[in-house]
Amino acid sequence: MFLEEYEANFKGRYRVKVALLGGTAGQGFGLALRFCKAGMDVIIGSRSTERALETAKNIRAALGNNVKVEGMLNEEAVKVADVVFLTVPLVGLIPILKSIANDVNGKVVVSAVVPLEAEIGGALRPIRLWSGSVAELVAERLKNSKIVAAFHNISADALNDLEKPVECDVVVCSDHEDAKQLVMQLAQKIEGVRAIDGGPLRNSRYVEELTALLIFLDKRYSVKFSGLRFTGIKI
């Protein structure tokens, strides 16, 4: 019910509009595809208007011209979105946070960013941040926004394969209960996804680091779609 109430009351409109910053590739593009398939209003955010528009065009080509998708610069996208997703590499995160800070006050901001760096040989390992996690770093920079950590462990390949449901649980962490519940309901609009309440934002540090393990397992077992399922939890 929370999502329906939010949509009914938010600015007099009846559909939550989500912006995916970094939505032209990787996980951001995959989430855009899945949200559009679920009938949501989606904005592709990018540092390039041309790339954003081209990505929106590609999504319409994949799903049909009736899907609600637009392409904009990151700074323009956050102004008209209700919920903002950060799906950019860690190296580019701080400049984006600076550029959007004034336009996300009071809004829900979802961090899907993972703190990874490449080792010699190409393996990825987690980076330990002073803040504890990327999501906590975002909360420090965007003090007037409701920060949620989610979608760290979903494979971009699984999201992009529209012929199959996404077999993965999504752990959602936040210090704002209303924002957490909203994002959990958005997550479950993706076929096959089950949202798990991961508690306060500080727990996001454990969830973020699991991504490095999943990437390792993908390589070890030559798969692309590994994800997490938590047994014994009934929702």
> Is the pLDDT assigned to residue 5 strictly greater than 80?
no
Query: How far, in Å, CA of 173 to CA of 92, rounded?
Result: 22
Instruction: Return the SS3 of 169.
Output: strand
Query: How far, in Å, CA of 148 to CA of 163, rounded?
Result: 29
Indicate the range of 51-55, 107-111, 118-122 predicted with least confidence: 118-122
- pLDDT score of 2: 62
Tell me if 230 is assigned to some domain: no
pLDDT in tens, 78-105: 999 999 999 999 989 999 999 999 999 9
Q: Which CATH number does the domain housing residue 214 bear?
A: 3.40.50.720
> Is the pLDDT assigned to residue 189 strictly greater than 70?
yes
Q: Which domain holds residue 80?
A: 2-220
Query: How far, in Å, CA of 138 to CA of 153, rounded?
Result: 18
Question: Please, which pLDDT band fits residue 1 given cuts at 50, 70 and 90?
Answer: very low
More confident residue, 59 or 124: 59
DSSP state, residue 200: S
Give the number of domains in the chain.
1
Tell me if 235 is assigned to some domain: no
> Whole-structure pTM over 0.85, yes or no?
yes
pLDDT in tens, 127-173: 788 899 999 999 999 999 999 999 999 999 999 999 999 999 999 99
SS (H, E, C) 94-159: HHHHHHHHHHCCCCEEEECCCCEEECCCCCEEECCCCCCCHHHHHHHHCCCCEEEECCCCCCHHHH
